[in-house]
């Protein structure tokens, strides 16, 4: 039986374009597909001249189509706007309003890229899907599991956003860039003459222009007809003193220093947001330190779970340097207590906690 | 080809060079006029169906005598975006727009037109054949009503021209939009029939071309090709539409017989009252987008709704307008047959459909 085609998720950027071209060069049958996730004509008040590089712009679709043409593969745009809004944008907005700091990229990976896209790949007869993520997947015979490993290029490693991948998804996914560093990828792209070889890297949250998520939320709530929920309230200190007022808890995230609008002698940081009482709690840097927390909805990847204390390095946000910790089992296999060797700054509810053993991703869950 | 080389003149110039081009243009105008039983002076060339529709809807509404007072335009909810777009623009300019519902049959009820008419109605615009369903609208009945009321009637004929006989007098239309590529002329040329005496303001300014109706140097080579295509279409209309109808029915009958949970859109419609080349079929329980891709990979180009600007496929406003659920609208597929298609191709398409459907339904059971 001939090899089934591989469906490549093409964003129009250099990484996924290189993936498609590499697979073609290896003689694989490739189908390119771009996911249309967000209609850029929505929320016109957010549009600006700087809107290039936002997800699903016509320019990106044009680029992906151009590359597909260059390497001679069938190419399609598939529309997942409805699912993206239901499973990524709405939860993102709700999480912020509930006083947590969500990671839409992980939701998108869990519910769109490695679910809906894989389903579409299935539909068109593809055996595997491939993306331009920087991560590695290895099958481990003895454990009988697919393992997820950090990318060779530590600076580009994206495993933090991939902790939700199931064994079924890992079995059918290829990350051809996991063994390469970004410089090599650009060189490959240039070597293959890909039209996007010098294109800039994409920004963090694709549907939020210029990283201004609070402006996005206000515009989104206005458009969807939700009356701007009254979220303003008091800014209080850890010992209960009221320092001032704020315009909504969704403007704040744990560890934030700027934008409090309060002048005091010592620097103040957001310690917590309390959506129920609409309060933003502030304090000094030391108040941000925490040495333990619970992670829920844990997905185990390289190991089946923990029954006794397990040593790990735990990463609590994308830019965090994984810190030594011990994972303690709870009664629930999908919930662990993480105890750091040294207290860590700004453990933020809603963010992911990913457990590593060296390069190996053991699993990950959501900070409670 | 002649017009790209030897007859390169500007059709609006006085010199002999330009006159050669002018002769080509006028010959093409006669060919198109003949296809729709109009006089050549009532046909102007445009860049395509979209421009023709914009020109007619915006131009007639803006030319109406009571421009300063209230203006009302009647159209239907199943129109092509080329008509709905300018209607929305008129709304932004202060006009009232009534979009008639067409019900499950995919046909606009002439009585609804009568009921929607107001003293300030300045235009009625209803398409001849719907581009997604193929349903033919009762234009002659509608025109009796609009004439009685003294309101001009525009008809978007892009999907009907060349598929069914068009006689602008028998239909009683005042404006009729046409597109060249639907007759296999090159893309980027169209025409608009404007009955003599119809008031229409131009939408572009700066030239006296096309009897002051459309400013801009004429696209002579494309117009000549459109003219030739119109003459060909006129010559083979009866025979070709019978042939396409037989192919279309063959496709539909085989699909309905061999693939479970399928049906024709509109479900309650009269299957004979459609242009012969168009078929819209639902395949319950599948994702139309996936089926389009699966078929394309097997060499068959079909579509769900209309392709949007980025090439992504979105649920069709037409299928929603005839009352289909969102799921069934997304599971619906439009098939267009043309001059090059044969019975063998139709059979191969049915086989490919069967195989793709088996695969898709098997997956959705596992999912």
Question: Chain A window 301-330: which residues touch B at a Cβ cutoff of 8 Å?
Answer: none
Can you give the residue ranges of every domain in chain B?
2-232, 237-366
> Counting every residue, how long is chain B?
367
Residue A216's contacts (CB-CB under 8 Å, 6 or more residues apart) are A43, A46, A207, A208, A209
Contact call for residues B166 and B35 (beta carbons, < 8 A): yes
More confident residue, A90 or B362: A90
Indicate if the pLDDT at residue A234 is higher than 90: no
Q: b/e string for A153-162 if b means 16 or more Cβ within 10 A?
A: beebbbbbbb
| Among A37, A79, A173, CA closest to A118 | A173
CATH number at residue A254: 2.30.30.280
Residues A321 and A242 in one domain: no
Query: Is A105 an active-site residue?
Result: no
Catalytic: which of A55, A56, A105, A108?
A108
Spatial CA neighbour of A322 closest among A294, A290, A359, A297: A359
pLDDT band at A320 (very low <50, low <70, confident <90, very high): very high
The answer to whether the Cβ–Cβ distance between A36 and B367 falls below 8 Å is no
- Tens of pLDDT, residues B106-128: 999 999 999 999 999 999 999 99
Minimal Cα distance from B326: which residue of A?
A82
Considering only residues 9 to 68 of chain B, which have any Cβ-Cβ distance to chain A shorter than 8 Å?
none
Q: Which residues contact B236 (CB under 8 A, 6 or more apart)?
A: none
Residue A63: closest C-alpha in chain B? B310
How far is B156 from B149, CA to CA, in rounded Å?
20
Question: Tell me: the pLDDT tens digits for A71-82?
Answer: 999 999 998 988
Mutation to test the B interface, candidates A7, A64, A74, A76, most B Cβ within 10 Å = A76
Q: From CA A225, how far away is CA B268, in angstroms rounded?
A: 36
**Per-residue pLDDT tens over the stretch B159-172:** 999 999 999 999 99
**3-class SS at A59?**
helix
Interface size A-B, in CB pairs within 8 Å, comes to 53
Nearest to A311 by CA among A279, A357, A345: A357
Structure confidence at residue A357 as a pLDDT band (50, 70, 90): very high
Contact criterion met (CB below 8 Å) for B203 and B59 = yes
| Residue A169 domain flag | no
Query: Is pLDDT above 80 for B47?
Result: yes
Is residue B313 over pLDDT 60?
no
| HSE (side-chain half, CA atoms, 13 Å) at A168 | 8
Indicate whether A91 pLDDT > 80.
yes
Q: List pLDDT tens digits, range A265-280.
A: 778 889 888 888 888 8
Contact criterion met (CB < 8 Å) for A124 and B367: no
Q: What is the pLDDT of residue A99?
A: 80
Indicate which of A78, A84, A86, A117 best probes the interface with B, i.e. most B CBs within 10 Å of its own CB. A78
Q: What is the mean pLDDT of residues B76-91?
A: 96
Same domain, A92 and A47: yes
Nearest-angstrom CA–CA distance, B344 and B337: 13
**pLDDT tens for residues A167-200?**
999 999 999 999 999 999 999 999 999 989 888 8
Q: Give the span between the Cα atoms of B182 and B159, in whole angstroms.
A: 7
Select from A31, A77, A124 the Cβ nearest to the Cβ of B311.
A77
**A119 shares contact with chain B (CB less than 8 Å):** yes
Name the phi and psi angles at B352, rounded to 5: -65, -40
What class is the B2-232 domain? alpha beta
Residue A22 and residue A48 in one domain = yes
In a domain, A15, yes or no: yes
Q: What is the pLDDT of residue A226?
A: 66
Cα distance between residue B158 and residue B169, in whole Å: 17
Of B159, B168, B95, the residue nearest B127 (C-alpha): B159
Q: Does residue A107 fall inside a structural domain?
A: yes
Q: Which residues of chain A does B287 touch, with a Cβ-Cβ cutoff of 8 Å?
A: 120, 123
Once rounded to an integer, what is the mean pLDDT over residues B76-104? 94
Q: Please report how the helices B220-258 and B16-35 are oriented relative to each other, as an axis angle in degrees rounded to 10.
A: 30
Range of the domain at A252: 231-283
Is the pLDDT at A228 greater than 60, yes or no? Answer: no
What are residue A163's phi and psi, to 5 degrees?
-70, -10
What does each C-alpha distance from B99 to B72, B93, B135, B172 come to in angstroms? 11, 17, 17, 21
- Cβ atoms of B156 and B125 within 8 Å: the answer is yes
Confidence of residue B65 (pLDDT cuts 50, 70, 90): low
Q: A336: domain CATH number?
A: 2.40.30.10
> Which pair of tokens denotes residue A156?
């580009």
- Sign, Cα dihedral of A35, A41, A45, A50: positive
Give the active site residue among A55, A56, A105, A206.
A206
The answer to whether residue B359 neighbours chain A at the CB level (below 8 Å) is yes
Which is higher by pLDDT, B48 or B287? B48
A188 and A65 inside one domain = yes
Cis bond upstream, residue A150 (ω within 30)? no
What is the reported pLDDT for A69? 95
CATH number at A20 reads 3.40.50.620
Residues whose CB is less than 8 angstroms from the CB of residue A104 and which lie 6 or more positions away in sequence, other chains included? A88, A89, A91, A92, A205, A207
Which of the four pLDDT bands, split at 50, 70 and 90, describes residue A208? confident
Based on the domain organization, do A119 and A239 belong to the same domain? no
Q: Cβ separation of B363 and A61 shorter than 8 Å?
A: no
Which pLDDT score is estimated for B1? 54
Instruction: Classify residue A103 by its DSSP letter.
Output: -
How far apart CA A163 and CA A144 sit, in angstroms, is 18
Report the candidate in A210, A64, A211 with the shortest Cα–Cα distance to residue A131.
A64
Question: CA B251 to CA A175: how far, in whole Å?
Answer: 42
User: What integer pLDDT is reported at residue A256 of this predicted model?
Assistant: 86
pLDDT given at position B306: 45
Any A CB within 8 A of B296 CB: yes
What is the value of pTM for the model shown? 0.84
Interface pTM (ipTM) of the complex? 0.77
Pair A118, A244 in one domain: no
pLDDT (average), residues A241-245:
86
Give the CB-side neighbour count of residue A332, counting CA atoms within 13 A: 11
Residues A265 and A310 in one domain: no
- Cβ of A120 within 8 Å of Cβ of B290? The answer is yes
Report whether A45 contacts A95 (CB < 8 A). Answer: no
For the segment B299-316, the average pLDDT, to the nearest whole number, is 63
| Percentage with pLDDT > 90 across chain A | 57
B367 pLDDT more than 60:
no
Please write the tens of the pLDDT for every residue from B264-278: 999 877 889 999 999
Q: What is the number of structural domains in chain A?
A: 3
A72 and A192 part of one domain: yes
pLDDT tens-digit map of B245-267 = 999 999 999 999 999 999 999 98
Same domain, A99 and A207: yes
Residue closest to B245 by CA, chosen among B214, B279, B269: B279
In A, minimum Cα distance to B330 occurs at A79
Is A55 a known active-site residue? no
Q: What is the pLDDT of residue B6?
A: 64
Distance of CA B210 to the CA centre of its chain: 22
**A233 neighbors A279 (Cβ within 8 angstroms):** yes
**Same structural domain, A337 and A247:** no
B237-366: CATH topology is 3.90.1150
Say if residue B185's pLDDT is above 60.
Answer: yes
Say yes or no: A245 and A303 in one domain.
no
Mutant choice from B288, B295, B297, B352 vs A, greatest count of A C-beta within 10 A: B297
Q: B26 CA to chain A: closest CA distance, Å?
A: 39
Residue A149 domain-assigned? no
Whether residue A204 sits in one domain with residue A239 = no
Q: What would the pLDDT profile of B335-350 be if each residue is shown by its tens digit? A: 999 999 999 999 999 9
In a domain, residue A334? The reply is yes
Distances (CA, A) of A56 to B19, B73, B304, B311: 49, 35, 21, 11
Phi, psi of A58 (to 5 degrees): -60, -30
Size of chain A in residues: 368
- A168 touches B: beta carbon within 8 Å: no
DSSP B67: T
CA distance B335 to chain A (A): 19
Q: What is the DSSP letter of B307?
A: B
Residue A109 has what DSSP assignment? I
Q: For residue B309, give the nearest of A58, A76, A119 by CB distance.
A: A58
């Amino acid at each position: 039986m001939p090899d089934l085609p591989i469906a490549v998720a093409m964003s129009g950027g250099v990484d996924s374009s290189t993936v498609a071209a590499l697979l073609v060069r290896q003689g694989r049958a490739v189908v390119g597909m771009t996911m249309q996730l967000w209609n850029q004509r929505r929320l016109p008040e957010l549009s600006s001249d700087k809107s290039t590089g936002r997800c699903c712009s016509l320019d990106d679709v044009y680029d992906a189509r151009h590359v597909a043409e260059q390497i001679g593969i069938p190419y399609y745009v598939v529309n997942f706007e409805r699912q993206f809004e239901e499973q990524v944008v709405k939860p993102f907005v709700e999480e912020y309003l509930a006083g947590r700091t969500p990671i839409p990229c992980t939701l998108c990976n869990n519910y769109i890229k490695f679910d809906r896209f894989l389903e579409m790949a299935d539909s068109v007869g593809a055996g595997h899907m491939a993306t331009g993520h920087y991560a590695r997947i290895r099958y481990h015979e003895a454990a009988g599991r697919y393992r997820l490993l950090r990318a060779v290029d530590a600076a580009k490693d994206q495993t933090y956003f991939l902790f939700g991948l199931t064994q079924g998804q890992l079995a059918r996914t290829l990350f051809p860039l996991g063994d390469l560093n970004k410089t090599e990828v650009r060189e490959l792209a240039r070597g293959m003459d890909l039209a996007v070889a010098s294109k800039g890297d994409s920004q963090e949250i694709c549907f939020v222009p210029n990283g201004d998520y609070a402006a996005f939320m206000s515009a989104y709530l206005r458009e969807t007809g939700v009356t701007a929920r009254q979220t303003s309230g008091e800014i209080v200190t850890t010992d209960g003193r009221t320092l001032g007022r704020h315009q909504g808890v969704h403007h704040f995230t744990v560890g934030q220093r700027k934008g409090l609008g309060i002048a005091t002698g010592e620097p103040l940081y957001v310690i917590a947001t309390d959506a129920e009482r609409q309060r933003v709690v502030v304090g000094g840097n030391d108040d941000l330190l925490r040495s333990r927390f619970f992670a829920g909805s844990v997905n185990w990847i390289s190991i089946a779970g923990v029954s006794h204390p397990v040593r790990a390095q735990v990463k609590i946000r994308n830019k965090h340097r994984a810190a030594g910790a011990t994972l303690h089992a709870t009664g629930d296999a999908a919930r662990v207590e993480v105890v750091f060797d040294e207290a860590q700054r700004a453990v933020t509810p809603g963010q992911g906690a990913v457990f590593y053993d060296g390069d190996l991703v053991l699993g990950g869950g959501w900070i409670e | 080809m002649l017009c790209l080389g030897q007859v390169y003149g500007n059709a609006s110039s006085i010199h002999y060079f330009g006159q050669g081009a002018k002769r080509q243009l006028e010959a093409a105008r006669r060919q198109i006029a003949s296809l729709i039983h109009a006089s050549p002076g009532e046909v102007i060339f445009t860049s395509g169906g979209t421009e023709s529709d914009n020109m007619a809807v915006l131009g007639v509404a803006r030319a109406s005598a009571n421009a300063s007072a209230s203006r009302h335009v009647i159209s239907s909810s199943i129109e092509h975006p080329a008509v709905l777009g300018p209607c929305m623009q008129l709304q932004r300019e202060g006009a009232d727009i009534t979009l008639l519902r067409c019900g499950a049959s995919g046909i606009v009820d002439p009585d609804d037109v009568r009921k929607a008419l107001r003293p300030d109605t300045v235009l009625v615009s209803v398409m001849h054949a719907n581009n997604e369903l193929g349903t033919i609208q009762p234009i002659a009945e509608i025109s009796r009503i609009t004439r009685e009321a003294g309101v001009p009637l525009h008809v978007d004929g892009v999907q009907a021209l060349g598929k069914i006989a068009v006689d602008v007098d028998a239909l009683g239309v005042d404006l009729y939009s046409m597109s060249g590529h639907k007759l296999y002329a090159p893309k980027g040329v169209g025409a608009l029939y404007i009955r003599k005496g119809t008031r229409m303001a131009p939408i572009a300014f700066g030239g006296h071309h096309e009897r002051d109706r459309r400013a801009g140097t004429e696209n002579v080579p494309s117009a000549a090709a459109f003219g030739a295509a119109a003459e060909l279409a006129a010559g083979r209309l009866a025979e070709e539409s019978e042939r396409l109808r037989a192919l279309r029915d063959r496709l539909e009958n085989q699909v309905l017989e061999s693939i479970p949970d399928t049906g024709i859109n509109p479900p309650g419609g009269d299957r004979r009252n459609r242009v012969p080349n168009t078929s819209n079929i639902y395949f319950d329980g599948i994702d139309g987008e996936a089926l389009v891709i699966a078929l394309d990979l097997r060499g068959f180009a079909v579509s769900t709704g209309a392709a949007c600007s980025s090439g992504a496929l979105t649920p069709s406003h037409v299928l929603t307008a005839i009352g289909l659920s969102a799921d069934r609208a997304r599971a619906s597929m439009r098939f267009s047959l043309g001059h090059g298609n044969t019975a063998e191709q139709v059979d191969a398409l049915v086989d490919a459909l069967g195989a793709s459907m088996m695969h898709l339904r098997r997956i959705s059971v596992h999912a």
